Structure 1
């Protein structure tokens, strides 16, 4: 079976700790290494090298691998409603790929976009240097080895892109799980200029 790459969102930067990310998601989905290897037409040893950090594929191949493991499950309507209707500035992303599942009206205003424009889009492509650094630090913090890691808090600078504006300020990441076991990340935090 060949994975349809046309449905993946363009991300030019690979994910830190790809191997740990892949291993956690593959186990959640319930696939053996050999089954994933067959699915994406590589050998099982390649999957093993990726998961052990011995080899890291290109950003495009990382997308193909995550697409093969299935689209982000956004069927948890109660959790999405809590995020969407929150008065706080927050959003919910699928942890492996940073695919946006939901965000509050306050976050939409902060991002200077509509409340639906970025649903299904990987936000990783918009990450500031500080967000990328914090993501890289997750492996050192043991984040990928823990079922419920402690929240990660850090400061980020402002970044302006065509589709989104990221305000400078404090960010807090917390891991949650969808009903099917898919790990997601609740992203909250006060931004500069926020009341």
Structure 2
């Protein structure tokens, strides 16, 4: 039974981008308590089990879970990051491009792999209201450091915002690798192409 709660709590927390302390705050328990649950050394008391079930069965939580599940099952390289550039979910194809296991990519601080160019492009997105719902999409050509530590690679990405049920926006990045020669043919202006919400015509 402890393993069941351990896995459910860890999965819920990771899918929602919560630290152990963050989940503890929602439940009014210490971070150490959440840690013990996740290690399987303690089982939540019956009253807390009811609170956890209510939290996990919340319809808004379930729709977020379905969104993250769709990312994990994507047939292309896709990642989701919060405004702090922490990956919240990724597809197996994204992990393959990074040369790591899916679990290693899905919960890492992606800023560690930023190059100067990618840092600048991330800043442009933030300054233009990406995480406030002002931007519809950004096409980005950049170079980045794979999580496995091999040489820098080049890619084209589409960044699109998605609003979670708690009101926070996350960045969905669908990307594919490109050759360095092709990247170098793109002008600096052509490496960031932004479409704002008020520009969309249906």
Normalising by structure 1, report the TM-score: 0.53
Higher helix share: 2
What SS is found at the alignment partner of 2:88? strand
Q: Note the alpha carbon deviations across 1:127-152, whole angstroms, 9 max, x for none.
A: 122211112222553445x5241211
The structure showing larger relative contact order (alpha-carbon pairs under 8 Å, at least 6 residues apart) is: 1
In 2, Cα distance between equivalents of 1:157 and 1:125 = 13
Aligned position for 2:107: 120
What SS is found at the alignment partner of 1:191? strand
Matches within 5 A, 1:77-96: 77-94=65-82, 96=83
Aligned position for 2:33: none
Residue 135, structure 1, aligned to residue 135, structure 2: no
Q: Which runs of 5+ in 1 are unaligned?
A: 1-72
Higher strand share: 2
Any conservation in 1 of the 2:141–2:157 contact (CA below 8 Å)? yes
What SS is found at the alignment partner of 2:157? strand
How many residues matched?
A: 119
Cα 1:161–1:122 change in 2 (3 A) is: closer
Normalising by structure 2, report the TM-score: 0.51
What SS is found at the alignment partner of 1:97? coil
In 1, Cα distance between equivalents of 2:126 and 2:65 = 30
Higher Cα radius of gyration: 2
Poorly superposed stretches of 4+, deviation over 6 Å: none
Any conservation in 2 of the 1:99–1:121 contact (CA below 8 Å)? yes
Any conservation in 2 of the 1:143–1:149 contact (CA below 8 Å)? yes
- Identify which range, 128-137 or 180-189, moves more after superposition: 128-137
Any conservation in 2 of the 1:171–1:190 contact (CA below 8 Å)? yes
